[in-house]
């Protein structure tokens, strides 16, 4: 059976979200959002919770972003005290603020540095050591040499987001490069980028010959996606999701992400960030998205949800996002981190 993984997403793939995803059908692997590594960094407590309190029954990899081998290896030693499945290195974050520090996607400009880092991390990871990369920075000239480093340092699993750093999130995904990675490295590869449905996963697996798929935004939109993948991979038709199921998902997500310290309005705003993706499959006109964005209290939010999801509760939730229903129009250049949900759309 091909592998499935939930893509690491900052401000999303925390303990609560992983728990909610598991309720609908957990992927084989989880990855934390990235731990920032620099001279004064300590593993962030809220990210550690997604490892220490993980009750999903599925392994969680701890993702690191950084470039200094001393600081990276020090952080690995700290993380090894926690029940991690392994260490994952981020070679893809496209936020200018990040890549200008030569970390994340910025490292793809410097294959020698990547080789040094992979060597240093491999030496201190007694268990699994994995890498998540984009296919290049501005172009793909360093692609092959990064793959060589992956082989040289015996990386255990490689996730490839088939875009360059400069392509951010909205260009076509270059699945041909993912196929080249799968053919060129000794470890299993996870294909990542715009895997919108179980059928798309199956077609990408067929064309890239990867060992599995990694899914991000479309798991926020449709948390049943991993279960649907497994159903399709084993020859059964994928579960149909109805609008009433989506109402239940939103309620569950609201409760799971609610904490006493967060004021209601801020929590509603956080919900809107997830719902930006969910709304892409509710109606073809984007009417749910439009109404949802104008709410400012729990009551208003759930009134909009019941109006759009419970009037015709048996109506199917679209498997693919509706064309033209954009989570956010101004998403090409996220100003701060790749990680603010509102800046990123399919």
Ligand X SMILES: Cc1cc2nc3c(=O)[nH]c(=O)nc-3n(C[C@H](O)[C@H](O)[C@H](O)COP(=O)(O)O)c2cc1C
Query: Site residues (CB under 6 A) for ligand X?
Result: 7-10, 12, 33-34, 63, 90, 92-93, 132, 161, 192-195, 215-218, 338-339, 341, 344
d(CA 151, CA 13) in angstroms, rounded, equals: 28
What 3-state class would DSSP assign to 132?
A: strand
Question: Which C-beta is closer to ligand X: that of 304 or that of 344?
Answer: 344
d(CA 129, CA 211) in angstroms, rounded, equals: 17
- Of 158, 37, 159, 169, the closest CA to residue 101 belongs to 37
Question: Which C-beta is closer to ligand X: that of 6 or that of 241?
Answer: 6
CB of 214 to ligand X, least distance (A): 7
Say if strands 157-164 and 128-136 run parallel, antiparallel, or are unpaired: parallel
What 3-state class would DSSP assign to 167?
A: helix
DSSP 4: E
Closest residue to ligand X: CB criterion: 216
Q: Where are the beta strands (DSSP E) in the chain?
A: 3-6, 30-31, 35-36, 60-65, 86-91, 128-136, 157-164, 189-192, 212-215
Question: Which C-beta is closer to ligand X: that of 47 or that of 309?
Answer: 47
Q: How many CB atoms lie within 10 A of CB 47?
A: 21
CB of 23 to ligand X, least distance (A): 20
d(CA 304, CA 291) in angstroms, rounded, equals: 7
d(CA 241, CA 244) in angstroms, rounded, equals: 8
Question: Which C-beta is closer to ligand X: that of 117 or that of 341?
Answer: 341
CB of 105 to ligand X, least distance (A): 9
Active site members: 93
| Chain CA centroid to CA 314, Å | 29
d(CA 214, CA 3) in angstroms, rounded, equals: 8
Question: Which C-beta is closer to ligand X: that of 177 or that of 302?
Answer: 177
Question: Which C-beta is closer to ligand X: that of 63 or that of 228?
Answer: 63
d(CA 7, CA 107) in angstroms, rounded, equals: 20
d(CA 125, CA 122) in angstroms, rounded, equals: 5
- Of 170, 192, 226, 158, the closest CA to residue 21 belongs to 226
- On the CB side of 113, CA atoms within 13 Å amount to 14
Question: Which C-beta is closer to ligand X: that of 92 or that of 106?
Answer: 92
Tokens of 293: 């964005």
């Amino acid at each position: 059976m091909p592998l499935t993984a939930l893509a690491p997403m900052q401000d999303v793939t925390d303990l609560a979200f992983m728990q909610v995803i598991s309720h609908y059908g957990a992927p084989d692997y989880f990855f934390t959002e990235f731990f920032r590594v620099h001279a004064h960094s300590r593993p962030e407590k809220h990210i550690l919770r997604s490892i220490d309190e993980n009750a999903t029954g599925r392994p969680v990899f701890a993702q690191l972003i950084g470039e200094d081998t001393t600081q990276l290896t020090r952080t690995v030693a700290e993380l090894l005290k926690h029940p991690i499945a392994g260490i994952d290195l981020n070679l893809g974050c496209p936020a200018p603020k990040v890549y200008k520090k030569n970390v994340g996607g910025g490292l793809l400009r410097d294959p020698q540095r990547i080789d040094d880092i992979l060597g240093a991390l491999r030496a201190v990871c007694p268990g699994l050591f994995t890498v998540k990369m984009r296919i290049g920075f501005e172009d793909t000239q360093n692609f092959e040499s990064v793959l060589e480093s992956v082989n040289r340092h015996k990386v255990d699993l490689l996730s490839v987001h088939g875009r360059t750093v400069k392509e951010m999130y909205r260009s076509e995904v270059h699945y041909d490069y993912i196929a080249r990675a799968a053919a060129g490295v000794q470890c299993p590869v996870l294909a990542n980028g715009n895997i919108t449905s179980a059928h798309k996963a199956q077609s990408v697996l067929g064309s890239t010959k990867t060992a599995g798929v990694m899914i991000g935004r479309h798991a926020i939109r449709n948390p049943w996606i991993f279960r649907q993948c497994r159903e399709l991979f084993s020859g059964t038709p994928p579960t149909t999701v109805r609008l009433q199921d989506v109402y239940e998902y939103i309620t569950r997500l609201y409760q799971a992400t609610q904490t006493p310290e967060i004021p209601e309005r801020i929590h509603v705003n956080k919900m809107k960030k997830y719902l930006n993706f969910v709304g892409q499959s509710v109606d073809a006109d984007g009417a749910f998205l439009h109404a949802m964005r104008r709410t400012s209290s729990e009551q208003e939010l759930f009134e909009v949800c019941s109006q759009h999801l419970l009037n015709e509760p048996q109506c199917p939730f679209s498997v693919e996002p509706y064309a033209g229903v954009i989570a956010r129009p101004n998403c090409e250049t996220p100003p701060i981190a790749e990680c603010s949900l509102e800046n990123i759309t399919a």
